[in-house]
Amino acid sequence: MTRREWMSLKLCLKKLEQEYLGSIIVAFDEVKFQLEAPYKRIWFPKGEKINGAFFWSSKKLLTFGALTSNHKFFYDFYDAQNSLTFRHFLRTFIKTLNKKKKICFYS
């Protein structure tokens, strides 16, 4: 997320907070980083044809995150991106919120 997008999100959250005064506004996002294998050098004898050297990595880093209107950031790392992992993230996140305040979810 760029600085401009971050500032835009904060401004949007402030406007929503004024509309829902006294509520906690929560914005969700997810990000998936594909982790590449390190660069490898391959040596072949002179005159020999290179036969498709390919190094592939399926390693990835997946993060779900939530930013609240009172500037608290909650995140967690997962192995997969599906409805079960997102539901788990939501359940653990909701347990951290104040039960006495109204909550508005924004995605």
One digit per residue, pLDDT tens: the chain, 107 residues?
Answer: 688 888 888 888 777 767 666 777 788 888 888 776 655 666 667 777 666 555 566 678 889 999 888 888 999 999 888 899 999 999 998 888 877 777 777 76
Note down the domain range covering 96. 3-37+58-106
Domain count, the chain: 1
Q: How many CB atoms lie within 10 A of CB 103?
A: 15
Q: Is residue 44 part of a domain?
A: no
Which residues, in sequence order, are CB contacts of 76 under 8 Å at separation 6+? 63, 64, 89, 92
Q: How many CB atoms lie within 10 A of CB 84?
A: 9
Q: What's 70's DSSP letter?
A: T
Query: Nearest CA to 64 among 40, 44, 88?
Result: 88
pLDDT number for residue 53: 57
Q: Is residue 50 part of a domain?
A: no
Q: Is residue 72 part of a domain?
A: yes
pLDDT number for residue 59: 74
